[in-house]
Amino acid sequence: MLLNSYKITRTLPCLADPEKIRVIAEISDEIHEVFPYLNATLKGCIYNHPALTLTIKKDGKLFTLHAHHITLAKIEDEKEAEEILRWLRDLINETYEKRDHIEPNFSKGAELKALDIYKLLPGTSCKKCGELTCLAFAVKLVGQEIEITKCIPLFSEEYQEKRKVLFELLQAAGYDIPQMFLKNEEDLDVGVKGA
Ligand code: SF4
């Protein structure tokens, strides 16, 4: 068994849907060894091998696995979070047990979509980045034609939670976030603490 137990440690508002929650669970064991095997068997994962993160999309929800914790987004309540965590624990352990029969997949997988990025930007279309709209900025960001740091309003306290989730998604998809910005994110989950 690779993963023995988990514990929900934080429950936050979900940014994409205010009626739902975002849940962070600490886990008892390091699980990154199973990521390339999950990436090989599940469809639509985003795998970042250097950062040791795997994002799974299921029923419109996003589950991001890290070496030491799991983040769930667009969750109804803690009861649903517990069900998903149980499902993930079983999936992780079953996949790990079968790993000798699975060809590991180390590829990055699905790319981020501009709309996913757009939802996490301030959404004011203030033009400070030089683009006419936040959506235009999101399109350029996905194409790596502009840096996230050009969106100056995003770095204000008002957008702290959105920024954390956006950084998490960008890192999970293999995009670079300057270290100086990561250091300022106390509880940014990906690749900063624990990874
Ligand atoms: S600076 Fe940020 S908030 Fe302003 S238009 Fe650009 S992406 Fe949108």
- The alpha carbon of 88 is separated from its chain's Cα centroid by a whole number of angstroms, namely 15
Q: Is the pLDDT of residue 52 over 80?
A: yes
Position 48 confidence tier, pLDDT thresholds 50, 70, 90: confident
Rama region for 62: left / alpha / beta (φ>0; ψ in -120 to 50; rest):
beta
Q: Which atom of ligand 1 is nearest to the CA of 150?
A: 1
92 in contact with ligand 1, CB cutoff 6 A: no
pLDDT at 33: 95
For residues 51 and 133, the model is more confident at 133
Tokens of 112: 């981020």
Q: Which residues lie closer than 8 Å to 52 by C-beta, 6 or more apart?
A: 32, 35, 66, 67, 191, 195
Closest-CA residue, ligand 1 atom 7, reads 134
Closest-CA residue, ligand 1 atom 2, reads 151
pTM higher than 0.95, yes or no? no
For residues 177 and 1, the model is more confident at 1
Cα(151) to centroid of ligand 1, in Å? 5
AA identity, residue 48: N
Cα(54) to centroid of ligand 1, in Å? 28
Q: Is the pLDDT of residue 194 over 50?
A: no
pLDDT at 184: 57
4 in contact with ligand 1, CB cutoff 6 A: no
126 in contact with ligand 1, CB cutoff 6 A: yes
For residues 50 and 17, the model is more confident at 50
- What integer is the mean pLDDT of 105-134? 89
- What integer is the mean pLDDT of 18-36? 92
Residue pLDDT, tens place only, 131-187 = 999 999 998 888 777 888 899 999 999 998 899 888 888 876 766 666 666 655 544
**If DSSP codes are grouped into helix, strand and coil, which group holds residue 176?**
coil
pLDDT at 109: 64
Residue pLDDT, tens place only, 83-101 = 999 999 999 999 999 999 9
pLDDT at 13: 82
Q: Which atom of ligand 1 is nearest to the CA of 130?
A: 6
Cα(180) to centroid of ligand 1, in Å? 20
pLDDT at 188: 45
**Cα–Cα distance measured from residue 191 to residue 195, given in angstroms and rounded to the nearest whole number:** 5
Across 6-20, 42-56, 163-177, least confident range: 163-177
Cα(19) to centroid of ligand 1, in Å? 25
For residues 4 and 174, the model is more confident at 4
Q: Is the pLDDT of residue 190 over 50?
A: no
Q: Is the pLDDT of residue 65 over 90?
A: yes
